[in-house]
Structure 1
Amino acid sequence: MAGLARSVAAAILLLSMTTFGFAANKVIIILDASGSMWAQIDGKPKLEIARESLRTVLQSVPAADEIGFMAYGHREKGSCDDIQLIVPPQAGSASAISAAADSLKFLGKTPLTAAVKQAAEALKYTEDKATVVLITDGLETCGGDPCALGKELEASGVDFTADVVGFGLTADEGKQIACLADNTGGKYIQASDEKALQEALVETVAAPAPAPAPEPAPAPAPAPEPAKPEFNFQPTVVMAEGGEPITDGNAWEIYKANSDGSRGDSVTTEYGTYNGNLEPGDYIVVARDDEAKVEQKFKIEAGQVYKPLFTLNAGTMLIHPRSSQGADISDEAHVDFTYPGGNTTHYGDTKIIVPAGEQKVTVQIGSGSVTETIQLTAGQKIEKDVIVGVGHVVFNAYYIAGGDKADSSGLGFEIVKAKKKIDGSRDDVEHSYGPDSKFWLPPDEYVAVTTLDLATVEEPFSIKVGDNQDIKVPLNAGVLAMSAPGAYSIEILSPKKDIEGNRKALGLNYGDTWQQAIPAGDYVVVRHMSDEGHDKEMPVTVKAGERTEITVTP
């Protein structure tokens, strides 16, 4: 499946850097932090696999190597300028890079060309030897030309190399990005499955570098061999019976066949049109194009030429996800395919080749989703807009209407259904944190529960399909900054006592300083000391939209 292959490829790249990236004196690792990294393998997100693999590999990097770390797409969803050199190239940077990777968010676009250019400049590639290792799970989405950049960096650099690993890209997509590596003398690596990851670990991490071989002595001229065919294996693959041969975007996987007929060791993987020579023996050959594949078994005999035909029995689907009728294609959409024999997930505008038969396509944008069942015949090409039917809303909070905008990290928005259930609770829909929190929601009545520290406000609103709302929530709150020198803890209580003489506790913080957003009103601040009998309380009034400072002294 493409989702699995993409994630495994990410881990392979990380684990392969000890071979082709870290051989240079100075290296910058570029990690794709786009939203597709949330796709899962066996319930585990790809981004977690990438983080753990990076942490493992960095432990084996020589301490003298100067390694840097760059990411893109980790701070903003739609920005092509979201590129950051987080850890400059330096010796002993393993822990800093691991910590940086662990803190990344994965949500943006793929400006890979600009990122490689910035990394080369950070390495002073026109003055020193420089290596960039690019980990990408998608193609360029910001208008860059990676092929042209490769030629530019190779021509102007002292000794510049770009190594690239794709996250399960198709062969056609791989060619579009492999040129960046080819044009700089680097390597393009594409993984296919879990086994490939295990082989990469043995080959790239465990295997020692071979010593230089001595110059061989001149060999005697070989005796002339009898003429033989240039190629003995020339397969052809078609989408459907009677269809035109596929010569681009497809792959050929050649395996030795075990005595029981199962797959043995991998012999080679080739792309596009394949003309090869196979030693006599038993083989299993897999023809693959995207999610469609078919295999045949062969017994190769000396002196024979084999020209087999493979029929994928597959078709092509082009899915254009849109939030509403007439809206732009959504880059944020999750497009899940369930096809005969498997399933996979893509993001945004999607072209996919799948086995013929019943296809279930589920498109999700935010909290809205729609599933369509499509019958696809072999050789057929279906292009379809899928309308999810959601509206868009952006939330911000203000201490007071027309006042200062709340931009604290403690700001949160929880969206719940407006209609209460029989027990009085409401169904949770979605949540987000920080200012400019964005939601895609199906049409309905909702309540936005906005929380900032001790201040909580419920804001009812409704959404229609195609809406684009900007909602400003007034908190009617201020900021209370409290100081209590020498205190063990600081507590905020309600000003009025109940019938038993107790006040309601509203918040507690350990230490002698504390600052909180809090609804406007009257409160009592208590300084708790470690010694009993030395507590001190002081009344305070907080005004909406204002900052109030109080010091509780002995």
Structure 2
Amino acid sequence: MAILARSIAAAILLLSTTTFGFAANKVIIILDASGSMWAQIDDKPKLEIARESLRTVLQSVPADDEIGFMAYGHREKGSCDDIQLIVPPQAGSASAISAAADSMKFLGKTPLTAAVKQAAEALKYTEDKATVVLITDGLETCGGDPCALGKELEASGVDFTADVVGFGLTADEGKQIACLADNTGGKYIQASDEKALQEALVETVAAPAPAPEPAPAPAPAPAPEPAKSEFNFMPTVVLAEGGDRVIEGNAWEVYKAKSDGTRGDNVTTEYGDYKANLEPGDYVVVARDGEAKTEQNFKIEAGQVYKPLFTLNAGTLILHPRPSQGADVASGASVVIAYPGVDNPPTYYGDTKVVLPAGDEKVTVTIGQGVVTETIPLAAGRVIDKDIIVGVGHVVANAYYVAGGDKADGSGTGFKVLKAKKKIDGTRDEVTYAYGPDSKFDLPPDDYVLIATVDLAVVEQPFSVKVGEFQDLKVAMNAGVLAITAPGTSKIEIFETKKDINGNRKSIGYAYDEKYQAAITAGDYAVVSEKSDNSKKEGAVTVKAGERVELTVQ
């Protein structure tokens, strides 16, 4: 990854050619998004090192430099055509590139030769000066010849250069792709760890540009007359000592101070870059950003200007809750953050970005029935951007009257999920439940029993869940629909035909009406209608799976 940093830094250096006194050229950075980028260096995924390095280096790029961003292997697992120019070369693209890298999946193959070719064509390399920076942690896996491509691009391009970063490659592996850089007059850099990356960033990105020729000294301007300041209160807030000024997303609360120095009546609440003219008097001013806050007391005196500094002693936490490694962010995931000094932790949902007081942040993420808790130490002024993997599988349940038949989609359809393992008393723990067709469950890995109910029909079906696995559970109810009409009756009741040892039949269901319709397990049943005078009539019926049967009892 150190290489990655060097290569990116080199790309930035090339991008900033006007700054260094050369003709400006466009650059496309190509990022390897194959599945192997999940591998770790010093307990940190390579893809995270890549994202952080991109974000850091791009912040120092002049806004008018034109940078593009391409990736391969980020949408399909087995495709050699999965290459996409995500951000075309343009000025001010740093934030767009960082955002694209942050949201990208890493799961596919390595068509690096074809990607470099497409990037060169996007840069119109036969017409203009062009540079491509390839960051890869693997060799070509789609049959391309990077060495031959390098010769082709060098021969036909106006001034084409390819820099190649071999991230975590061995020396022998690096030789197999270094020719792409050598054949275009570029550089091959081998990076093996994050330290090397940092050194490369310092060496290349922080290198000072030549000082421009000094401009003629202007004639001294007459000294301005002292002017009265437009505002008398101009506070500044930072997350940490020596940090950048915060001017977006923050809030200011201004209160009159009571005699004991505590907050009195609210004077105003303002946002962002706050400037004001406050009447002389005593005030309490609160600075907030996210969940972090600090306050100071002030005595405003006439004719004085106050420019206080508020230090929140806070950092920024960016969390991406995912059901499994490499999966999309779960927008419905609840994210509860218990930060230092809070009694009732706030709850966020899906992608979460929040400013928090520095310290140990206890993060609890819930997706469906899956729950994971992590403690994340956050230092003042630091930004931590990380995935939270809950570790669940996704299940969609539906009931069918008979296998291959109609789906049961009425209001009487429901599903209950139980632990498969029975307790000592023979019962099972209930996990969750849902109603209606396409009932969805996010469950931790385990063995379960699904109890499906459609009106009077009930079926149990065991199933198991693995992390990241999707299951479409189709439960065959072996049931039909029984529609009963009993004119003039006040109650209809359905019984099993078989009697127990005491001569009693088991009641299956009943309704206080002249009509009763319900799904019921296939079999033979007795139907008894009862009038208000307690007189009864009985009928017999056979229900077949997947069929409707109508019965009139008179």
Structure 1 length as normaliser, TM-score? 0.58
Give the Cα–Cα distance (whole angstroms) in 1 for the partners of residues 446 and 284 of structure 2.
Answer: 55
| Offset, 1:375 | 0.7
Structure with greater Cα Rg: 2
Give the Cα–Cα distance (whole angstroms) in 1 for the partners of residues 502 and 373 of structure 2.
Answer: 58
Give the Cα–Cα distance (whole angstroms) in 1 for the partners of residues 520 and 333 of structure 2.
Answer: 37
Partner of 1:432: 434
Give the Cα–Cα distance (whole angstroms) in 1 for the partners of residues 499 and 467 of structure 2.
Answer: 49
- 5 Å-filtered alignment, 1:249-260, equals 249-260=249-260
Partner of 1:536: 537
| Offset, 1:305 | 1.1
Give the Cα–Cα distance (whole angstroms) in 2 for the partners of residues 523 and 422 of structure 1.
Answer: 35
| Offset, 1:498 | 2.4
Give the Cα–Cα distance (whole angstroms) in 1 for the partners of residues 323 and 543 of structure 2.
Answer: 43
Give the Cα–Cα distance (whole angstroms) in 1 for the partners of residues 489 and 467 of structure 2.
Answer: 54
Give the Cα–Cα distance (whole angstroms) in 1 for the partners of residues 228 and 323 of structure 2.
Answer: 61
RMSD of equivalent CA atoms: 1.3
- 5 Å-filtered alignment, 1:110-509, equals 229-342=229-342, 343-509=345-511
1:49-80 residue CA offsets vs partner (Å, 9 max, x unmatched): xxxxxxxxxxxxxxxxxxxxxxxxxxxxxxxx
- Three-state SS of the structure 1 residue aligned to 2:346 is strand
- Three-state SS of the structure 2 residue aligned to 1:341 is coil
1:231-283 residue CA offsets vs partner (Å, 9 max, x unmatched): 11010000001111111111111111122322111111111111101111111
1:437-460 residue CA offsets vs partner (Å, 9 max, x unmatched): 111111100000001111110000
- 5 Å-filtered alignment, 1:541-552, equals 541-552=542-553
Partner of 2:12: none
- Three-state SS of the structure 1 residue aligned to 2:327 is coil
Give the Cα–Cα distance (whole angstroms) in 2 for the partners of residues 254 and 365 of structure 1.
Answer: 40
| Offset, 1:410 | 1.2
Give the Cα–Cα distance (whole angstroms) in 1 for the partners of residues 229 and 325 of structure 2.
Answer: 59
Amino acid at match of 2:548: R
Number of residue-to-residue matches in the alignment: 327
Amino acid at match of 2:231: F
Partner of 1:20: none
1:195-234 residue CA offsets vs partner (Å, 9 max, x unmatched): xxxxxxxxxxxxxxxxxxxxxxxxxxxxxxxx85321101
Give the Cα–Cα distance (whole angstroms) in 2 for the partners of residues 388 and 499 of structure 1.
Answer: 52
Give the Cα–Cα distance (whole angstroms) in 2 for the partners of residues 267 and 405 of structure 1.
Answer: 62
- Three-state SS of the structure 1 residue aligned to 2:541 is strand
| Offset, 1:416 | 0.6
1:454-503 residue CA offsets vs partner (Å, 9 max, x unmatched): 11100000011110111100000000001110111110111122233221
| Offset, 1:543 | 0.5
Give the Cα–Cα distance (whole angstroms) in 2 for the partners of residues 498 and 242 of structure 1.
Answer: 84
Give the Cα–Cα distance (whole angstroms) in 2 for the partners of residues 410 and 255 of structure 1.
Answer: 57
| Offset, 1:330 | 1.5
Gaps of 5+ in 1: 1-226
- Three-state SS of the structure 1 residue aligned to 2:331 is coil
Amino acid at match of 1:395: A
Structure 2 length as normaliser, TM-score? 0.58
Give the Cα–Cα distance (whole angstroms) in 1 for the partners of residues 430 and 291 of structure 2.
Answer: 36
1:87-128 residue CA offsets vs partner (Å, 9 max, x unmatched): xxxxxxxxxxxxxxxxxxxxxxxxxxxxxxxxxxxxxxxxxx
Partner of 2:43: none
- Three-state SS of the structure 1 residue aligned to 2:425 is coil
Task: Give the percent of matched residue pairs that are identical in Structure 1 and Structure 2.
Answer: 67
1:336-360 residue CA offsets vs partner (Å, 9 max, x unmatched): 1010012211111111110000111
| Offset, 1:394 | 0.7
Give the Cα–Cα distance (whole angstroms) in 1 for the partners of residues 378 and 499 of structure 2.
Answer: 71
Partner of 2:220: none
- Three-state SS of the structure 1 residue aligned to 2:362 is strand
Gaps of 5+ in 2: 1-226
Give the Cα–Cα distance (whole angstroms) in 1 for the partners of residues 307 and 281 of structure 2.
Answer: 16
Give the Cα–Cα distance (whole angstroms) in 1 for the partners of residues 492 and 280 of structure 2.
Answer: 82
Give the Cα–Cα distance (whole angstroms) in 2 for the partners of residues 380 and 502 of structure 1.
Answer: 74
